[in-house]
Amino acid sequence: MLDNRKLVILTEIIDYHIKYAEPIGSRTLSKVDSIGLSSATIRNEMSDLEELGYLTKTHVSSGRVPSEKAYRLYVNRFLDDALSENLNIKNYLVDSLENESKNELYTLANKMLSEKTNYITVLISPVLTSFKINYLVVERLDSENILVVFIEKHGYSKNYVVGISNIRGIVDVREIEKKAREFLVNKDFHEINKIFDSLPSDYPNRVIILKIMELGMDFLRDKNFSIYLDGVSNAYGYFDNENEFKSLMNFLEDYNNLFNYAMKSNDRLNIKIGNENSETPLKFYSTISSRYRDSNDNYGNVLLIGPTRMDYKKILNIIYNFTETLSSIENKNEYEVDL
């Protein structure tokens, strides 16, 4: 735990970095009234914060910048205060959105969110819980492949070929089919997603079953949702590494990536900072995702992508009120299905 002096100094450093995107030194901090310490004392405290992993030095100056660990502490400390009702945001959204058709609602809402935050925003329309796998079949094609067939209750079906050449041991197709049916049949996307995330690492035939579950979720979302992307041009202002930027653009171009990432979270609000987004191009950025629901308890998601130094207090308040208002509009209005 950090003592109060270190917390005050660290908070001031983070606020400065959010505002100016520059390192700050002890001399500048000594002039801040809320700190009230000498430059030498602040320098010692900053050295301690660096040793504890909350600050890092830049190669261009002697000033320090907050680490991902510092931003995580910063977010956790004020999270409850940030998630408060903001009538200005809510009234603005309701006045602008409540009379729109469904497709226009999502398009305009996501555009407004991007403009309000100046970051990349993704809005996923609610995934229908009524759309379920009614039946599935697993058959061996040859020594290297199995065939998986999904059938929806209205007759929609799709076939997938799954390679098994890299699987060690005997592949018992009937046992795999039995388990796949147990995990997927008569379940909606969200139910399957929860099982997918909780399947033990030592579960028999885990690799194949996870792949079938992944394909099942792909089948359910194939004709079941829409994705709205906005604010990509905002990225030019805060992503200064060309390779990282190209990697992000490639990620955004594949809507399956966006869907898989955003819908993995079953939380009301999920914040990931830097390397907490492991194994994706998003590990260089911060993301905030939040769920909303329609009148039939179908859940959609909102995802925001920005720099680690984003103004979390402001952005979390906007996201919270945005999804709260979107849910209320969804529950208030009835829409005709867009054909």
**How do residues 188-218 score in pLDDT, each as one tens digit?**
887 888 899 889 988 988 889 999 999 998 8
Q: What mean pLDDT is reported for the chain?
A: 84
- Looking at residue 293, its pLDDT comes to 84
Query: What residue segments make up the domains of the chain, in order of their start?
Result: 4-66, 81-126+226-332, 133-221
CA distance 19 to 330: 35
- Strands in the chain per DSSP E: 55-57, 64-66, 120-127, 133-142, 145-152, 157-163, 227-230, 269-273, 286-293, 299-306
Phi/psi of residue 19, each to 5°?
Answer: -75, -40
The strand ranges marked E within 90-249 are: 120-127, 133-142, 145-152, 157-163, 227-230
Per-residue model confidence (pLDDT) at position 266: 63
pLDDT of residue 92: 75
SS3 271: strand
Give the residue-averaged pLDDT of 13-40: 89
As given in the structure block, the two tokens for residue 231 are 């604010």
pLDDT at 188: 83
Alpha carbon distance 324, 86 (integer Å): 10
Using CA atoms, how far residue 118 sits from 12, 231, 273, in Å, is: 23, 7, 18
Tokens of 133: 């796998």
Domains 4-66 and 133-221 belong to one CATH topology: no
Residue 52 pLDDT exceeds 60: yes
Per-residue pLDDT at 273 exceeds 60: yes
| Residue linked to tokens 């919270």 | 320
Higher pLDDT, residue 296 or 28 = 28
pLDDT score of 169 more than 70:
no
* Residue where the block lists tokens 């490639």: 250
Alpha-carbon distance 117 to 111, whole Å? 10
With residue 244 as reference, give the H or E element that holds it. Answer: helix 242-253
CATH number of 133-221: 3.30.390.10
Give the per-residue pLDDT at 61: 58
Average pLDDT estimate for 145-153: 90
CA geometry: angle 54, 55, 59, nearest 5 deg = 155
Q: 247: how many CB neighbours lie within 10 A of its CB? A: 16
45 contacts 13 by C-beta, under 8 angstroms: no
Choices 3.40.50.970, 3.30.450.40, 3.40.630.30, 1.10.3720.10: CATH for 81-126+226-332: 3.30.450.40
The model's confidence at residue 333, banded by pLDDT at 50, 70 and 90, is low
Report how far residue 37's alpha carbon sits from residue 123's, in angstroms, rounded to the nearest whole number: 46
pLDDT at 177: 94
pLDDT confidence tier of residue 89, bands split at 50, 70 and 90: confident
| pLDDT at residue 97 greater than cutoff 90 | no
**CATH, domain range 4-66:** 1.10.10.10
Radius of gyration of the chain measured on its C-alpha atoms: 24
Distant-in-sequence, close-in-space partners of 146: CB < 8 Å, separation ≥ 6: 138, 139, 140, 161, 162, 164, 171, 173, 176, 208
User: Which residue matches tokens 């320098």?
Assistant: 43
Name the least confident of 48-52, 105-109, 173-177, 238-242: 238-242
221-240 residue pLDDT tens = 766 678 999 999 887 777 66
Q: Tell me the angle at which helices 87-97 and 102-117 cross, rounded to the nearest 10 degrees.
A: 140
What is the arithmetic mean of pLDDT over 100-120?
A: 88
Highest mean pLDDT among 97-101, 176-180, 324-328: 176-180
Do the Cβ atoms of 221 and 188 come closer than 8 Å? no
Which residues of 143-207 form beta strands (DSSP E)?
Answer: 145-152, 157-163
Report yes or no: 146 and 162 within 8 Å, Cβ to Cβ: yes
Tally of CA atoms within 13 A in the half-sphere of 314 that contains its CB:
12
Judged on CB neighbours under 10 Å (0-12, 13-18, 19+), 306 is buried
Average of per-residue pLDDT across 70-95: 80
CB 42 within 8 A of CB 26: yes
Span 294-323, pLDDT tens digits: 877 788 899 999 998 889 989 998 998 898
Averaged pLDDT, 168-182: 87
pLDDT of 121 > 60? The answer is: yes
